[in-house]
Structure formats: structure tokens, C-alpha cells
Amino acid sequence: MALLETSIIVALVGAGLNGGLFFIFSNCVMRSFEEMPDGEGMRAMQIINRRILNPMFLGVFAGTALVSLVVAVLAVMDRPPGSGFAVAGAACYLLGGFGVTAVGNVPLNNRLDQASIDTEHGRMLWKRYLRDWTRWNHVRTVFCIAAVPLLALAL
């Protein structure tokens, strides 16, 4: 199996794993936090944001970005049949999955980490966080899920 095909398969699996994780957060986790008393939901999210920074998650999340970059470069250089799908799928993950996380979700996570529910500022921040973080999460979910069939079509 050629390097491009192997890279596409790895990127496809990574995009699917990340898209599934993001989907669960949009569909279940964030809605559950909204139903919890503010302090409990906020504290749970702060813990999750710290725990998710582990080698397994970061390996899949950042590794998929790296492999997606390899897919895009190889597809442009080699121009095999399906290369347009490969570039589109890789771009969906790189820009919509990885990029949105970096510019949308992570800054919100960093602000939440410094906040306390015991202050008016912290309570207001949590309300905005639930809305804004979930919106960004919907965006990255759609892009990660879109990457999967695009990468599959590239094969």
C-alpha cells in the first residue's frame, strides 16, 4: 500500500474518532452541563479540559492533523485519481477540526480554567462559555464528520 493511501486511512480514522468525540459533547455532554447547577457543570468542564490533555488524546488529535497535512501535500504532488477528495478531506480536518479547536475552543477553555463560579464574573463567563463553546464545537463536529466520506472517496 502506498504512503498516500495509508495516510488517507489513518487520517480518515482520526477524523472519525475526533468527530465522534465532538458529536458526543454537542449532543449529550454540554446539554447535561446546562441542566446541572452552574458550579457542578463548570467544575466538571474544567476537570475535563485538564484531563483531555493526555498523550492518547493529543496523539490522535494532533497526529490526525499531521497526517492530514501529509495527505494534502502528497495528493497535490502526486495528483492520483481522487486527489481532490483527499485535499478536501484533509482541509476539513485541518481547518475545521484542528483549526477551529485552536482558535475557538481552546481560548474559551483557557478562560474557563481561570474562572471561579463563586464570582459574578465566573457565573457570567460560564453562561457565555456554554453557548460559545458549544457553537464552535458544532462547527468542528461537522467538519470532522465531513472529512470522513471525503477521505474515503479519495481511496
Please write the tens of the pLDDT for every residue from 18-54: 999 999 999 999 999 999 987 899 999 999 999 999 9
Q: Domain locations in the chain? A: 3-154
Q: For the range 20-26, what are the long-range contacts, defined as Cβ-Cβ under 8 Å and sequence gap of 24 or more? A: 22/97, 22/137, 22/140, 22/141, 22/144, 23/141, 23/145, 25/134, 25/137, 25/141, 26/134, 26/137, 26/138, 26/141
The pTM assigned to this predicted structure is 0.93
Please write the tens of the pLDDT for every residue from 85-112: 999 999 999 999 999 999 999 999 999 9
Show the beta-strand stretches assigned E in 4-143. Answer: none
